[in-house]
Chain A
Amino acid sequence: MFELTLQAVYSGLLAGGWYAMVALGLALVFGTMRIINLAHGELVLLAAYVAFEMERSFGLNPIAAIPVALVVVGLTALLVYFLIGRIRHDRELNSLILTFGIAIVLTNVILMTWSADIRSTSVGWFMDGAVIADTLFSMNSEVLFFGAGVALVGGTYWWLNHTWHGRALRAVSSNRNAAMLMGVNPARVEAMSFVVSAVLATVSGVALYTASVVFPALGHGLTIKAFVITVLAGLGSVPGVLLGAVILGVGETMTATFAKPSLQELTGMVIFLLILFLRPSGLFGRKVVGK
Chain B
Amino acid sequence: MTLNTILRRVAAGIVFSAVAYGGAAQAETFTLGSQVPLTGNLARVGTGMHEGISVAIAMANKELGGKHEFKVSTIDDESNPAKAVAAVEKLASEGVVALTGGYGSNIIGPASEAAAKSDLVYITSGGVAPELTHRDLDTFFRINNSEGYGKAMLGLLKDMGVKKVSVIYSNKEATDAMAKYVEEGLKEAGVEVTTHEFDASTTDFKSIMNKVKLRDRSDAIAMIGYENDYVGILRAASVLKPEAKAIVGVWSLATSQMNTEFHDLVQNVYGTSLLPYPVKFSGDEAVEFSATYKEMFGKEPDYLGQFGYVQTRLLIDAVVAAADKGEVSGKTVAQELRSLKADTLIGDVAFDENGDNPNFSHRMGQHQGDRVEIVWPEKAATAKMNFPAVPW
Interface residues, chain A, with chain B CB atoms under 8 Å away: 3-4, 7-8, 11, 15, 107-108, 111, 115-120, 122, 124, 127, 129, 137-139, 212-213, 215-217, 221, 253, 256-257, 260-265
Contacts and interface: CB of A to CB of B under 8 A. Distances in A.
Nearest to A117: B44
A217 B228 CA distance: 12
A118 B171 contact: no
A239 to B, nearest CB: 24
Given A7-B210, A129-B238, 18 more contacts: A4-B215, A8-B210, A108-B39, A115-B47, A117-B261, A118-B228, A120-B262, A129-B241, A137-B206, A137-B210, A215-B41, A256-B198, A261-B198, A261-B199, A261-B207, A261-B208, A264-B198, A265-B199
A260 B197 contact: yes
A127 B238 contact: yes
B214 interface: yes
Contacts of A263: 199
Nearest to B203: A212
18 contacts: A4-B210, A108-B39, A116-B38, A120-B261, A129-B238, A129-B239, A129-B240, A212-B204, A212-B232, A213-B227, A215-B41, A253-B204, A253-B207, A256-B198, A256-B207, A261-B199, A261-B202, A261-B207
Nearest to A3: B214
Given A7-B207, A137-B210, A262 B47 contact: no
A15 B39 contact: no
B79 interface: yes
B370 to A, nearest CB: 15
Interface of B: 38-41, 43-44, 46-47, 79, 171, 196-199, 201-204, 206-208, 210-211, 214-215, 227-228, 231-232, 235, 238-241, 257, 261-262, 264-265
A40 B169 CA distance: 30
Contacts of B41: 215, 217
A11 B207 contact: yes
A119 B171 CA distance: 23
B44 A116 contact: yes
Contacts of A256: 198, 202, 207-208
A7 B40 contact: no
Contacts of B262: 120
B238 A264 contact: no
Nearest to B176: A262
Contacts of A264: 198-199, 202
Nearest to A256: B207
A257 B39 contact: no
A117 B257 contact: yes
Contacts of B227: 118, 213
Contacts of A217: 39-41, 43, 79
Nearest to A10: B206
A138 B240 CA distance: 8
Nearest to B41: A217
User: Which secondary structure dominates where chain A touches chain B?
Assistant: helix
A137 B204 contact: no
A120 B231 CA distance: 9
A124 B264 contact: yes
A224 to B, nearest CB: 9
B232 A262 contact: no
B44 A215 contact: yes
A28 B336 CA distance: 62
B211 to A, nearest CB: 7
A264 B240 CA distance: 20
Contact of A213 (B46, B47, B231): B231
Given A116-B44, A260-B197, A138 B206 contact: yes
Nearest to B46: A116
Contacts of A107: 39
A83 to B, nearest CB: 22
Given A116-B43, A118-B227, A217-B79, A139 B239 contact: yes
Nearest to A6: B210
A138 B211 contact: no
Contacts of B257: 117
Nearest to A261: B198
Contacts of B207: 7-8, 11, 253, 256-257, 261
A11 B43 CA distance: 30
Contacts of B240: 129, 137
B196 A216 contact: no
Contacts of B199: 261-265
